[in-house]
């Protein structure tokens, strides 16, 4: 009878110990899962912030490229305007030289008559 009681108490102690181990394992498992979820959330947030920064950098690059293209076009237009002005000045100078040459030729012809 005492042996049965002792065996029952030993069995209860073993069951209690096994139950306590199971509870500890379950708690540890839950802590690990929570840590993994937290790590995934942190990684996702970092990924989101990185993607936002990349998008903003892309937008800034596109804006700069657009501004550069506009400035280049403005510079080309200004250069074309200056070239047209130079062409006009040269044409005016050439016309004046032609008129002077024509006048000189007329005077020479009058003198030679």
In the predicted model, what is the mean pLDDT of residues 21-45? 98
One DSSP character per residue, 79-93 reads HHHHHHHHHHHHHHH
Max CA separation in the chain (angstroms): 165
Q: What pLDDT is recorded for position 112?
A: 85
Question: How does pLDDT run across 46-62, given as a tens digit for each residue?
Answer: 999 999 999 999 999 99
Question: How does pLDDT run across 56-102, given as a tens digit for each residue?
Answer: 999 999 999 999 999 999 999 999 999 999 999 999 999 999 999 99
In the predicted model, what is the mean pLDDT of residues 21-36? 97
Q: How far is 43 from 29, CA to CA, in rounded Å?
A: 21
Q: What confidence tier does 109 reach under pLDDT thresholds 50, 70, 90? A: confident
Q: How far is 92 from 89, CA to CA, in rounded Å?
A: 5
Q: What confidence tier does 2 reach under pLDDT thresholds 50, 70, 90? A: confident
Q: What pLDDT is recorded for position 97?
A: 96
Q: What confidence tier does 43 reach under pLDDT thresholds 50, 70, 90? A: very high
């Amino acid at each position: 009878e005492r042996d049965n009681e002792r065996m029952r108490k030993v069995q209860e102690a073993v069951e209690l110990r096994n139950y306590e181990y199971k509870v500890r394992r379950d708690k540890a498992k839950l802590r690990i899962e929570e840590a993994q979820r937290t790590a995934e959330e942190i990684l996702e947030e970092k990924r989101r912030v990185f993607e936002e920064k990349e998008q903003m950098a892309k937008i800034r690059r596109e804006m700069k490229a657009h501004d550069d293209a506009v400035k280049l076009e403005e510079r080309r237009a200004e250069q074309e305007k200056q070239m047209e002005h130079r062409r006009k000045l040269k044409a005016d100078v050439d016309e004046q030289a032609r008129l002077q040459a024509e006048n000189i030729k007329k005077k020479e012809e009058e003198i030679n008559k």
